[in-house]
Structure 1
Amino acid sequence: MIATLFALLVTPALAADVGFEAVKMADGEGPPLTAGIWYPTNAAATPHALGSFSQTVAPGALIAGHRLPLVVISHGGGGWYGGHYDMALALAHAGFVAAAVSHNGDTFDDQSHVLELWRRPAQLHRLVDYMLDEWHGHGRIDAARVGAFGFSNGGFTVLVAAGGTPDLSKITPYCEAHPEHDLCKDLKQAGVDPRFGANVPDSVWVHDPRIKAVVAAAPAFGFAFGSAGLSSVHVPSQLWRAADDRHQPDPYYDEAVRASLPQPPEYHVVAHAGHYDFLPPCDARLSRKMPEICNSLPDFDRAAFHEQFNAAVVQFFQATLNSNR
């Protein structure tokens, strides 16, 4: 009986639909950050375009519920805030507020700061600030229940936010040993010395103790952490690996993170999945435009996987953020 009452207190009532808005946030002396925000609403939702996708939302609708948990989302390299819209919708349908930031300097239309990896956790920290203090619905959010999801570069980002400190000097020996791996070939093609991060001080990595649980899918630069670099990550974590990830080959990324976390993560290995299968299914037009991101192996059903993936992420945050009450 007590457990049932506790569950009723910490689990928000589900709303009928999802509200949505895009916002601009000041970011110090830099350009404003853009974010998308999904949240529960009782207003009627209808289909609306979101980049190359369509989502069923009620733009600008009133928020339903109180003491709502928050999940912030960090996209992969060259992405944008809408890159995981289907997960954001699933979270909002389950009673969460989901907020995703476009990381200035590492988006599809701006790669000017892609190697300044320390900018990403700082921008995610700014998003949490905005959502808890400045967003018009901040009074509806439970500041004690904040989680973070990230894919690829975003997975790296949320691990740092949760307390991780990478050592980018490890990129040089990694590329000396594995010059055929995508990261190393890309650096060489771009004329970038792999020693670019050799002198990055630990002080640049922004951690956010408000984040109480993290989900990392195919985290980039996993080999750069090690046990020492992840020793301060004590929040519950869920880790996802694509079994056929040829962009970030095993065991140097996800497995390196799994082996180094001080608390074993909830670990999922997705059979037949490639790196970009963590992104939502593409329509025919986007598939023709970006086949390297959109095309899956013939025996992999990306749409079916995303139903399972999103449900598992929602369940993880429901369990871990509720337990932090």
Structure 2
Amino acid sequence: MAIGLRTLPEVLLTYPSLGDPVGTPYGRFAIDAVPDGPVAGRPPLVLLSHGTGSTPDVYRGLAADLAHAGFAVAALSHAGNRLGDDGLAGTAEVLTVRTRQSVEAVDLALEALGASAEPPRIGLVGHSLGAATALALAGARPHALPWETADGVARPIAVSRDERVAALVLLMPATPWFDAPGALAQVDVPTVVLTAEHDEHTPAWHGALVTAGVPHATHHVVEGAGHFAALTPFGPRAVAAGLPPALDPPGFDRAGAQRTWHPRIAAWLAEHL
């Protein structure tokens, strides 16, 4: 089974398709896909939310693997909090905007898939701040951190909830906005958390906050991994240049780890969607 690729406004949509795949632009990179190919079957929809200041194309390996496994994957580019357009970083409004964008992206992707899409029952995959976005969409109630407000007072952040959310995959989640008692109590969908053993940006307490606060959460630690283990491996030039997202702790095999846990994520989503 091939995968198709459609470029929608702010969304890269991959899905099971028919035809002969060719090298097709996926953001700044490329994947083997059928450009604008027909949708095969009735794929469940998964929304993929990138980390702060990042881009969806650095998760192209995960998107392609999930599409090969039978899912439609809407990888969203978060305007205002992405590479080259990051004015919302470090503000209380970033989750407000991200969740609104996510609901719009789900609507757009379902429209593009048309009758081929499953009835609205979607999965969310989020990395770092993308995981916080996923939690908010599923009913979590974030509070701004003191340094994110003009008067230094933490207060609730208005976010958009999406009742279609049926499962969460949180990769190296960033979670300080959910530290208030009961902030995660309304997240009542199956949730799996993957944290990195050597995460330099979101250490263990971020994932522990989720497993303590979400009623249906399970937690797995990726041994030897760092924060960027969820990103598709970079080429040797990026590694040699010391680009932080390209680097891993000594001895960690990012590509090998992803060959193990991408199929597990797909199987888990299939079970719950």
1:271 pairs with 2:223: yes
Aligned counterpart in structure 1 of residue 100 of structure 2, from 109, 112, 122: 122
Q: Is the 8 A contact 2:12 2:26 kept in 1?
A: no
Q: Is the 8 A contact 2:207 2:219 kept in 1?
A: no
CA deviation after TM superposition for structure 1 residue 144, in Å: 3.6
Per the alignment, residue 85 of structure 1 pairs with 60
CA deviation after TM superposition for structure 1 residue 78, in Å: 1.1
> Which secondary structure state, in structure 1, belongs to the residue aligned with residue 64 of structure 2?
helix
Question: What is the rounded CA distance, in whole Å, between the counterparts of 1:42 and 1:163 in structure 2?
Answer: 37
> Which secondary structure state, in structure 2, belongs to the residue aligned with residue 229 of structure 1?
coil
Per the alignment, residue 102 of structure 1 pairs with 77
Question: What is the rounded CA distance, in whole Å, between the counterparts of 1:130 and 1:48 in structure 2?
Answer: 21
1:233 pairs with 2:187: yes
Letter paired with 1:130: L
> Compared with structure 1, are the counterparts of its residues 289 and 122 closer, same or farther at alpha carbon in structure 2 (3 Å cutoff)?
farther
Letter paired with 2:160: V
Aligned counterpart in structure 2 of residue 198 of structure 1, from 153, 160, 167: 153
Question: What is the rounded CA distance, in whole Å, between the counterparts of 1:316 and 1:41 in structure 2?
Answer: 22
Per the alignment, residue 169 of structure 2 pairs with 215
TM-score (norm 2): 0.92
CA deviation after TM superposition for structure 1 residue 47, in Å: 2.3
Q: Is the 8 A contact 2:194 2:219 kept in 1?
A: yes
Aligned counterpart in structure 2 of residue 310 of structure 1, from 258, 262, 265: 262
1:35 pairs with 2:11: yes
TM-score (norm 1): 0.78
Per the alignment, residue 23 of structure 1 pairs with 8
Per the alignment, residue 45 of structure 2 pairs with 70
CA deviation after TM superposition for structure 1 residue 214, in Å: 0.7
Question: What is the rounded CA distance, in whole Å, between the counterparts of 2:21 and 2:168 in structure 1?
Answer: 29
> Which secondary structure state, in structure 1, belongs to the residue aligned with residue 140 of structure 2?
coil
Q: Is the 8 A contact 1:76 1:151 kept in 2?
A: yes
Question: What is the rounded CA distance, in whole Å, between the counterparts of 2:14 and 2:173 in structure 1?
Answer: 24
CA deviation after TM superposition for structure 1 residue 65, in Å: 1.1
Q: Is the 8 A contact 1:222 1:257 kept in 2?
A: no
* Alignment coverage as a number of residue pairs: 269
Q: Is the 8 A contact 1:39 1:97 kept in 2?
A: yes
Unaligned stretches of 5+ residues in structure 1: 1-15, 25-33, 173-192
CA deviation after TM superposition for structure 1 residue 224, in Å: 2.9
CA deviation after TM superposition for structure 1 residue 230, in Å: 0.5
Deviations 1:120-144 (A, max 9, x none): 1111111112122x32x22111124
1:261 pairs with 2:239: no
Question: What is the rounded CA distance, in whole Å, between the counterparts of 2:64 and 2:30 in structure 1?
Answer: 12
Percent of aligned pairs sharing the same letter: 29
Q: Is the 8 A contact 1:218 1:275 kept in 2?
A: yes
Say what the alpha-carbon RMSD is for the aligned residues: 1.8
Question: What is the rounded CA distance, in whole Å, between the counterparts of 1:158 and 1:83 in structure 2?
Answer: 18
Q: Please state which structure has a larger fraction of its residues in helix.
A: 1
> Compared with structure 1, are the counterparts of its residues 225 and 122 closer, same or farther at alpha carbon in structure 2 (3 Å cutoff)?
farther
Per the alignment, residue 136 of structure 2 pairs with 160
Question: What is the rounded CA distance, in whole Å, between the counterparts of 2:73 and 2:236 in structure 1?
Answer: 27
Question: What is the rounded CA distance, in whole Å, between the counterparts of 1:313 and 1:198 in structure 2?
Answer: 38
> Compared with structure 1, are the counterparts of its residues 297 and 52 closer, same or farther at alpha carbon in structure 2 (3 Å cutoff)?
farther
Letter paired with 1:131: A
Question: What is the rounded CA distance, in whole Å, between the counterparts of 1:298 and 1:52 in structure 2?
Answer: 27
> Which secondary structure state, in structure 2, belongs to the residue aligned with residue 205 of structure 1?
coil
CA deviation after TM superposition for structure 1 residue 235, in Å: 0.4
Q: Is the 8 A contact 1:74 1:154 kept in 2?
A: yes
Unaligned stretches of 5+ residues in structure 2: none
CA deviation after TM superposition for structure 1 residue 223, in Å: 5.7
Letter paired with 2:71: F
> Compared with structure 1, are the counterparts of its residues 268 and 20 closer, same or farther at alpha carbon in structure 2 (3 Å cutoff)?
same
Letter paired with 2:2: D
Per the alignment, residue 186 of structure 1 pairs with none
Deviations 1:242-293 (A, max 9, x none): 0100112222x11111111122x12110111100111111012333455211
